[in-house]
Structure 1
Amino acid sequence: MDFIDYYSVLGIDKKSTSEAIKKAYRKLARKYHPDLNPNDKDAEQKFKEINEANAVLSDATNREKYDKYGKDWKHAEEFERNRQSRASSQSHGSENFSESDYSDFFESMFGGGFSGHSQGRQVKFKGPDYNAELQLDIRDIYVTHKRTLTVDGKNIRLTIPAGVKDGQVIKIKGQGGPGVNGGPKGDLFLRFSISNHTVFKQDGNNLHTTVDLSLYEALLGGEVTIDTFDGKAKLKVKPETQNGTRVKLKGKGFPMYKKEGQFGDLYVTFRVVLPTKLTDQEKDLFHELSKLRTL
Structure 2
Amino acid sequence: MDYKDYYKILGVEKNATTDQIKKAYRKLARQYHPDVNPNDAAAEQKFKEANEANEVLSDPEKRQKYDQLGADYARYQQGGGGRASQAGGFDWSQYAQGGGNPFGGGGSFGGSFGGEGGEDFSDFFSSIFGGMGGASGGGGRASRPGAGSDYQAELELSLDEAYHGGPRTITVNGKNLRITIQPGIADGQTIRLRDQGGPGRNGGPNGSLYITFHILPDARYVRTGDDLTQDVPVPLYRMLLGGEQTVDTLGGPVKIKIKPETVNGSRVRLRGKGFPVYREADKHGDLYLRLNVQLPSNLTTQEKDLLHQLAQLRPEE
Q: TM-score if structure 2 supplies the norm length?
A: 0.62
Give deviations 1:47-84, integer Å, cap 9, x for gaps: xxxxx9981349xxxxxx96876635312244674655
Alpha-carbon offset, residue 238 of structure 1: 1.0
Mapped partners of 2:150, 2:213: distance in 1? 17
SS in 2 for 1:73: helix
**Residue in 2 that maps onto 1:75:** 52
Alpha-carbon offset, residue 264 of structure 1: 0.9
Match of 2:210 among 189, 194, 215: 189
User: Structure 2 vs 1, CA of residues 174 and 79 (structure 1 numbering), >3 Å: closer, same or farther?
Assistant: same
- Do the aligned residues in 1 keep the contact of 2:92 with 2:100 (CA within 8 Å)? no
Q: Please provide the CA RMSD for this pair.
A: 3.5
Alpha-carbon offset, residue 200 of structure 1: 1.8
SS in 1 for 2:164: coil
Mapped partners of 2:47, 2:286: distance in 1? 48
Mapped partners of 2:145, 2:194: distance in 1? 18
**Residue in 2 that maps onto 1:172:** 193
Matches within 5 A, 1:27-46: none
Match of 1:97 among 100, 103, 112: 100
Alpha-carbon offset, residue 126 of structure 1: 2.1
1:155 matches 2:155: no
User: Structure 2 vs 1, CA of residues 172 and 179 (structure 1 numbering), >3 Å: closer, same or farther?
Assistant: same
1:291 matches 2:302: no
Match of 1:128 among 145, 149, 174: 149
- Do the aligned residues in 2 keep the contact of 1:113 with 1:122 (CA within 8 Å)? no
SS in 2 for 1:261: strand
**Residue in 2 that maps onto 1:273:** 294
User: Structure 2 vs 1, CA of residues 207 and 195 (structure 1 numbering), >3 Å: closer, same or farther?
Assistant: same
SS in 2 for 1:262: strand
Give deviations 1:156-213, integer Å, cap 9, x for gaps: 3332110010110111112111223443221111100111335122121111111112
- Do the aligned residues in 1 keep the contact of 2:184 with 2:276 (CA within 8 Å)? yes
**Residue in 2 that maps onto 1:7:** none
Mapped partners of 1:195, 1:272: distance in 2? 28
Bigger mean CA offset, 159-168 vs 207-216: 207-216
**Residue in 2 that maps onto 1:36:** none
- Do the aligned residues in 1 keep the contact of 2:187 with 2:215 (CA within 8 Å)? yes
Structure with higher helix content: 1
Q: Which amino acid aligns with 2:91?
A: G
How many pairs were matched up?
Answer: 234
- Do the aligned residues in 1 keep the contact of 2:145 with 2:202 (CA within 8 Å)? yes
1:110 matches 2:132: yes
Matches within 5 A, 1:112-261: 122-261=143-282
Bigger mean CA offset, 144-153 vs 129-138: 144-153
Percent identity of paired positions between Structure 1 and Structure 2 = 40
* Structure 2: runs of 5 or more not aligned: 1-26, 34-41, 58-62, 74-83, 94-98, 110-122
